[in-house]
Structure 1
C-alpha cells in the first residue's frame, strides 16, 4: 500500500474575534504565521475583502500545498482548508490560527490524501 502524500484538514473556527475576521491584513498575517509555524513555504498569496465589517476569503499557495480561509465576522466563524504535504505540520498551523483569530472553539476533520484513498 502507498503511504499518504499529504494531510488535508477541514477546520471550523468559531467564537472568533469578529474584528480580526473582517480584517484582510490580520487574516493574511494569521495564515502566514500558521504556514511558518508548520514549516511550510509561501509561494503566492491572494485575499479578497467583501467590504466594511464583512468577511475575507483568501489563500496561501504553499510549496507544500495550500491554506485557504473564508470568514464570517457576523457569525464569529471561519472555515479553513489546510492541505500540507511533506514534513509540514498542520497541527502547529492550527494552534497558530486559533490563537491569531482568537477562536474559542474549533472542530477538525482530517483526511489522508494520496492514491491509497482511491479504491479500484
Structure 2
C-alpha cells in the first residue's frame, strides 16, 4: 500500500542573489501550492544573516513542503511530501526559470509499499 509521494529536488548553479530573496522563494511556494491544489495550514520562514540563505516550511493538510538555499554553493533544495498522489510539477522548468538554475535533479519516491518506487530525473 502506498501511503505517500515524495519529491526530493536539488537545483544547482542558481543565482546567489535570488537564493537570498525570501519573497521569490515564497512566490515559488505559492506557485507549487496553487498548481498542485495543496492546502496550507501554516508557513514559517527564516533568513540567515549576512550572505546566508533562506529556509522555508509549509505545513500542508497533505503533509509538507520545505526549501533550503545555500547561496555560497549556488544550491537550492526542495522537499515535497504528499499523502495523496499529485500530478508531476515542472520542477526543472520552473527552477531554471525562477532561480536561474543550470541543472535540476528530481528524485521521486512512492512511500510505504514493500516495494517502494524510486525514479530520478536530471536535466542540464
Q: Runs in 1 of length 4+ with deviation above 3 angstroms?
A: 95-98
State the TM-score, normalizing by the size of structure 1. 0.82
Q: Name stretches of at least 5 consecutive residues in structure 2 with no aligned partner.
A: 116-124
Task: Flag the structure with higher helix content.
Answer: 1
Which whole-Å CA distance do the structure 1 matches of 2:3 and 2:30 have between them? 22
Provide the aligned C-alpha RMSD in A: 1.9
Question: Which fold has the larger relative contact order, with Cα–Cα distance below 8 Å and residues 6 or more apart in sequence?
Answer: 1
Cα distance in 2 between the residues matched to 1:62 and 1:100: 23
| SS of residue paired to 1:40 | coil
Q: Deviations over 1:7-40 (max 9, x none)?
A: 1111111111211110112111111211211221
Q: 1:12 to 1:24 in 2, by over 3 A?
A: same
Equivalent-residue separation in structure 1 for 2:79 and 2:51 (angstroms): 22
In 1, distance between residues paired with 2:35 and 2:90? Answer: 6
TM-score when scaled to structure 2? 0.80
State the alpha-carbon separation in 2 of the partners of residues 21 and 97 from structure 1.
11
Q: Which residue does 1:92 correspond to in 2?
A: 89
Q: Distance in 1 between matches of 2:23 and 2:102?
A: 21
Question: Could you tell me how far 1:102 is from its partner in structure 2?
Answer: 2.5
For structure 1, which runs of at least 5 residues remain unmatched after alignment?
none
